Structure 1
Amino acid sequence: MQIATRDRFEPLCRAISSVFDQDYDNFEIIVLDDASEASDICDRLRSKFDDPRLRCFRNTEWSGVSAVRSRMMDLGDGEVYCSIDDDGAFAHASCLSRIVDAFLADPKLGLLAGKIKDYRDGQERLLLPFGKRDLMRSPELPEGRHRVSYFLAGCYAIRRSVVEKCGAYRPEMMYGEEELDISYRVIAAGYDIVYEPEIVAYHWPEPSAFKMDQPRSEIYFQIKNRFHLAYAYLPARFIPSYIAVWLVRYLVTCLRRGLVSDYLVGVKDGVLGMRRGPRQTLGNDAVTYLRSNYGRLWY
């Protein structure tokens, strides 16, 4: 069990409590504090929970969400890596046992995506690995078990052997689209990503853990990382429309937020990054999987 955190001690304790309340108890909890302002987070956790299954580590310098998630995988010892957000919690006591049973039952299952009930602004909404168009066509999708093409990191589990084969999160991505990056690699390796609606996590959004004194905003990394995804994985015929659609969407957002400089630098660095990085183009089987399981290729 892995939980990344930064400056969210009380919500973190709620998340950890929901893990200890599970009806499956053969787990360890890896907490990685990404340079919280308070340096005693781990000591306070050990004092509060006093359970050897809880292991806490601290980064002395902020490293970003991708690097934190990757490091937690290196620190974990289990056969399945499971994660929820520090401002979330499992919704019921059988989430972990359902995760374990799912992986035992299906050797082709590489990554399991849960249902996230988000309570932003006091309203419940579902965070799901389906596009808006898919949900409009099939409103019943959230209630069924389906193969899907990506996941949301607020509630998911992945086999350790899949990480060893496909690689963990890319630290250089820092923030944004890191789930899609690892999803492409899981699918390309021949594994399934499955959405399981009976595995549910709540999410009460806290202020962003992104370190605000960085020279660039979150959206800079999102723009740059979209170029990486297009160049690294997509067959050539999909790249122009993919880049064009996302650049228009990000431009609108940046104009509204007054982040035109971040937009321009993100585009520049994204293009330069395409020249440096290797291509791992998705093969025909992976493209077919995406088309058949709620994935997108043109945007």
Structure 2
Amino acid sequence: MGVARPRVGVAVLTMGDRMPELLALLDSVARQDEPAARIVVVGNGCALPGLPDGVVGVELTQNLGVSGGRNVAWQRLREFGDVDVLVDLDDDGLLVDADVVRRTADLYETGTGAGAGAGRRGGARLGIVGFRIADETGRTQRRHVPRLRAADPMRRGPVTTFLGGGHALSMEMLERTGGWPDAFFFTHEETDLAWRALDAGWDILYEPQLVLQHPKTSPARHAVYYRMTARNRVWLARRRLPAPLVPVYLGVWIALTVARTRSAAGLRAWFGGFAEGLRTDAGPRRPMRWRTVARMTRLGRPPIV
């Protein structure tokens, strides 16, 4: 017998303040030429009035953040038992093409990302597919290309991380890696999951033909961005890096942050978050293997930057 066609479920988080955008996104999901097996919307501390037929709503009494909310969506899809691949989409995004679900299922049906590296290592599987994020003009910001050499956003291939706004995750991979890091709340949760997936032998593919249209924004628009990005970066290093790389990674990011940040208030918040990351519990420490460090280096992004 052949491999069964993967069943794709869609999950969306919302805080209830983008209902027109959310409904437009859900309409674009409904117009896919291969229907999603399930669609779940999680209200992160908000009510969910007027969802379309067939969309399952989960209303949380408090905002659990990106990590916690996505874990709720994942667990809800697990309960149905008929989803093999989970597609997460930002609530202000839009699927401009009608073939995203079908092409995602195609990728997972083959089991590899057509060059993602499984054949070379014998046994690695496709765990994560990162979508391309483009604004209304079709342009992709440099920060949205998940590699250091970001000149060409259309270059497809294996990478070491992915974007939170639009991506696909193997349900089996989530089971084996443990899902999203709840405590992170917001920022760097994708990197924590990506590093665990790579260390467990899964592949991450950047597929620019899978597009989520998203308004052009800056991550610093969120008031807590500077503090949380610093705190979570420290936690990430303490949780996932071999001991010799922890000071290297943190030192590189101190230098980059000082060089890039133009806001004095932002820098104060960043260093406050950095100190918080050092003095608070980072969670269980399970550092990646050195062969994973070598693999990430071959892929063009060693875990020091």
TM bracket (short chain) = 0.7 to 0.9
**CA displacement 1:144-177 (0-9 Å, x = unmatched):** 4311100001110011111010011111101111
- Aligned counterparts of 1:129 and 1:160: Cα–Cα separation in 2: 22
Query: What is the SS of the residue equivalent to 1:30?
Result: strand
1:152 maps onto 2:163 in alignment: yes
Letter in 2 for 1:85: D
**Residues 161-240 of structure 1: matches in 2 within 5 Å?**
161-205=172-216, 217-240=224-247
The two structures have a TM-score, normalised by structure 1, of: 0.84
Residue 2 of structure 1 aligns with which residue?
11
Letter in 2 for 1:79: D
- Aligned counterparts of 1:196 and 1:208: Cα–Cα separation in 2: 22
Moved more, 87-96 or 122-131: 122-131
1:115 maps onto 2:132 in alignment: yes
Q: Matched residues, percent identical?
A: 25
Moved more, 100-109 or 3-12: 100-109
Letter in 1 for 2:56: R
Greater helix share, structure number: 1
Residue 73 of structure 1 aligns with which residue?
74
The two structures have a TM-score, normalised by structure 2, of: 0.83
1:280 maps onto 2:286 in alignment: yes
- Aligned counterparts of 1:195 and 1:57: Cα–Cα separation in 2: 30
Q: How many residues align?
A: 277
Query: What is the SS of the residue equivalent to 2:132?
Result: strand
Q: 1:5 to 1:206 in 2, by over 3 A?
A: farther
- Aligned counterparts of 1:295 and 1:98: Cα–Cα separation in 2: 27
The Cα RMSD (Å) is: 2.4
- Aligned counterparts of 1:239 and 1:65: Cα–Cα separation in 2: 25
- 1:98 alignment partner, one of 89, 100, 103: 103
- Aligned counterparts of 1:69 and 1:205: Cα–Cα separation in 2: 23
Moved more, 148-157 or 25-34: 25-34
**CA displacement 1:22-59 (0-9 Å, x = unmatched):** 011142111011124xx3xx2322xxx2x22x101112
Residue 128 of structure 1 aligns with which residue?
145
Letter in 2 for 1:80: V
**CA displacement 1:81-126 (0-9 Å, x = unmatched):** 101111111120111001011111016101111111135xx78334
* Structure 2 unaligned residues grouped into runs of 5+: 1-9, 113-124
Query: What is the SS of the residue equivalent to 1:265?
Result: helix
Letter in 2 for 1:256: S
